[in-house]
Structure 1
């Protein structure tokens, strides 16, 4: 490696390491804030908290790494251009492309490392992270439920007014909503004066014994038209036990879902799982279609008709039946349509959820490759952009880096959401942000390597902030001078 390549690589690594550590620490603090309710005031051992953060931290890397590369590239190459180091290189016959050559090789290696990390380390860490949370809940089951708010665990929402006991296992004022598996909304609403949480070591089930309460349960009628009556059943109980599955934990989607296994699988495992899920989905579609077609049958037979009879329209067909049979046909057809529509809606919701699960696995598969590609993308945006704007340090580079990364992250989040809801293919949803920013990277690299630059003066972005800072500093100096004068006058008067 030549001296120039070592110098550029060293400058980049110093900046990149500093930026990565700072951003990583910021996102770790964000993770602590997200899980503060599970960590604070639970009398957890120090090592448990450390393990919690260690297992959580790998999922931050795909978010921090591209941003760190982008910011470090802008700062490094912006500093070279600002200090006329690129001018010295060009005078020696070294182009910008040649200056970027050694660092480009390093970024390629870093991209492979990012893919390896996303494919091996993150799934294992996610598995350990989920099991650690489950173990904490088994040791202190009351951690699964916070006072005064609804907590989502599995297909249930639970709220308690007060918790007592050494581990908070005794509950007072319990309200529980159990979601329906056949559609949207709640299927069962349970209220109890008190309750007790119990768990067994090595079990995924959390037992909740409710005492002195009642529950309402929605009833799904066989006939579709009777649903408008909203029938339900009510019952009282002295003691009622509910088993809660701890594999599904309360987790906001803003921090990434952990209730699905797609985040715990590598590429080969995802391919196998996707293939199995798609085969199961196709079988369900075929089975549903056959059940619908077999269910639409009419058992009534018309009067004997001569072979020469011809029917021009529906009225001619109905004319072959008696008035009583016509009434039965209409009633049977109406009931059949209502039943079929009800069955279609239920199966549609079931197939929709299964399709969403398949899409989530596809997104998890593509995301491992997107992480690696985003490292290259951010470098080929940041390096030429820094050479063009000719600004180093923490001023303008941070503005551009944050702006570009927000656009990248917003498009990526939007694409994933739409693809998950089956609005667009998962491939497009995962790669949408890269497709949008790739032309920008190509354009900036072309302009920087050909000394075209951009016909925009970026000083108008920095100057207002500089004026405000200078004004604030000048006002501070004036205040200090006036205070010094007042102090001197007071001393003279005392003398």
Structure 2
């Protein structure tokens, strides 16, 4: 390795690790702020909190690493240009591409490492963090009622305006939603005051409410009456709700029975995608066959072809002409009910297939994201390095602003595209690669401008065609030679 390559690599590595650590620290703090509601009031051990942060860190790498490469490249090459080191290199016959050669090898190694990391470490960490979050959510809820928001405690959702008392056992302005076996919150309880009563080792949490009202929606068997929203209302002076915490207090923090697409490796994702695709297609075909058979067309055994004109003509008149008015009315009513039932069944199946397709799209997005991270590292390096040489400014000022603007554009395009891909509006492949593919021509453009010692933008490319057009139509006279 030549002295120049060593100097550039050492300068880049020093800035790279410094920026990476700073950005990772910032994103970890943001994660703590995001999940503080899940950690606060749970009486968790320090070891569990540290484990939570440890498992959270790997999933931040796809955000931190590309931004680190982009910002470091702008800062380092901007500093070289600002201190005229590039001018000295060029005067010695060393081009920008030659100066970037050693770093290109390093970025390729980083990209390969990022791919391996995304395919192995991130799924394992995601598996740990999601299961740990679910186990933390099951911890004893007596201390988990946060004022101002709804909290799930046992089989109820409770919201309180504020808590008072030495142990926050007194609740004020209580609203409770309780579910039913059929799902939905059909019961609402409102109370001015409440008190949590439970011994330290008790498996029962008693919630004593005073001076409140009890509302319960009534679900009539007649669907036509449900539009009126009937309900029952009663007033109580004191009302006690007992919540069984025996299962909630016996939480195994090592339980790892929950899985999602973000926890799978490439091989597992590929198998899952194939399985889901085959299953979805088979269900659609089975449903189409079932709906066709329910129409009763097969039982008619009629072929509407010109060769069987007699049968064809017999269906030109209404079949109701063969019945009296009462019978016709019953036939029409039965047909309407059957049609409405079929439409309702179609609507339910449509939502079911839509959710299945959304799940399949998420798996495809997760598969492509593992490749995108590696490619994005390379492309953002070729965006940042020549851009730093063009702006000729090092440090954390202007390079930081430019890097954040470029990265936010890259990141938001990716988010919007992936959200569109989940519901099938955009192909998962296109949505996942869109932001990276947009950055590719930008990197080529910046590299060309920096290599040819041109500025960031050339306004002549916009003004020259306009000037020629104005001269052609005679509005501007050509200059005399």
TM-score range, shorter chain: 0.7 to 0.9
Partner of 2:409: 407
Displacement, 1:148? 3.4
Partner of 2:438: 436
Give the alignment's Cα RMSD to 1 decimal. 4.1
Per-residue Cα deviation, 1:347-367 (whole angstroms, up to 9, x for no partner): 222222222222222111111
CA shift in 2, pair 1:309/1:85, >3 Å? closer
Displacement, 1:285? 2.0
SS in 2 for 1:311: helix
SS in 2 for 1:94: coil
Query: Any residues of structure 2 matched to 1:306-317 within 5 Å, and which?
Result: 308=310, 311=313, 314-317=316-319
Greater mean alpha carbon deviation, residues 313-322 or residues 170-179: 170-179
CA shift in 2, pair 1:431/1:260, >3 Å? farther
Counterparts of 1:77 and 1:360, CA distance in 2: 38
CA shift in 2, pair 1:177/1:116, >3 Å? farther
Partner of 1:462: none
Counterparts of 2:266 and 2:80, CA distance in 1: 40
Counterparts of 2:348 and 2:246, CA distance in 1: 25
Q: For structure 1, which runs of at least 5 residues remain unmatched after alignment?
A: 201-205, 247-258, 458-495
CA shift in 2, pair 1:299/1:115, >3 Å? closer
Counterparts of 2:68 and 2:49, CA distance in 1: 27
Q: For structure 2, which runs of at least 5 residues remain unmatched after alignment?
A: 249-257, 301-307, 460-481
**Conserved 8 A contact 2:157-2:177:** yes
Counterparts of 1:166 and 1:117, CA distance in 2: 48
Pair 1:367 & 2:369 matched: yes
Partner of 2:50: 50
Aligned length, in residue pairs: 432
Query: Any residues of structure 2 matched to 1:68-87 within 5 Å, and which?
Result: 68-87=68-87
CA shift in 2, pair 1:108/1:309, >3 Å? closer
Greater mean alpha carbon deviation, residues 127-136 or residues 91-100: 127-136
Pair 1:389 & 2:391 matched: yes
**Conserved 8 A contact 1:222-1:339:** no
Counterparts of 2:217 and 2:287, CA distance in 1: 27
Query: Any residues of structure 2 matched to 1:48-447 within 5 Å, and which?
Result: 48-142=48-142, 145-151=145-151, 158-159=158-159, 173=174, 175-176=176-177, 178=179, 186=184, 188-191=186-189, 216=216, 219=219, 228=227, 261-297=260-296, 308=310, 311=313, 314-447=316-449
SS in 2 for 1:315: coil
Counterparts of 1:387 and 1:156, CA distance in 2: 60
**Conserved 8 A contact 2:204-2:242:** no
Greater mean alpha carbon deviation, residues 353-362 or residues 157-166: 157-166
Displacement, 1:190? 4.9
Per-residue Cα deviation, 1:136-185 (whole angstroms, up to 9, x for no partner): 34443346553331246999855356789999899994612659989xxx
Greater mean alpha carbon deviation, residues 403-412 or residues 359-368: 359-368
CA shift in 2, pair 1:68/1:171, >3 Å? same
Per-residue Cα deviation, 1:354-382 (whole angstroms, up to 9, x for no partner): 22222222111111111111111110100
**Conserved 8 A contact 1:300-1:329:** no
Per-residue Cα deviation, 1:376-413 (whole angstroms, up to 9, x for no partner): 11101000111111111122211210110110111011
Counterparts of 1:164 and 1:217, CA distance in 2: 32
**Conserved 8 A contact 1:137-1:143:** no
Per-residue Cα deviation, 1:296-350 (whole angstroms, up to 9, x for no partner): 349999xxxx994652774354434443443233212211121111112222222
Counterparts of 2:278 and 2:245, CA distance in 1: 31
Partner of 2:15: 15
Displacement, 1:415? 0.8
Counterparts of 2:220 and 2:267, CA distance in 1: 42
Displacement, 1:91? 1.6
Partner of 2:477: none
**Conserved 8 A contact 1:114-1:371:** yes
Greater mean alpha carbon deviation, residues 128-137 or residues 434-443: 128-137
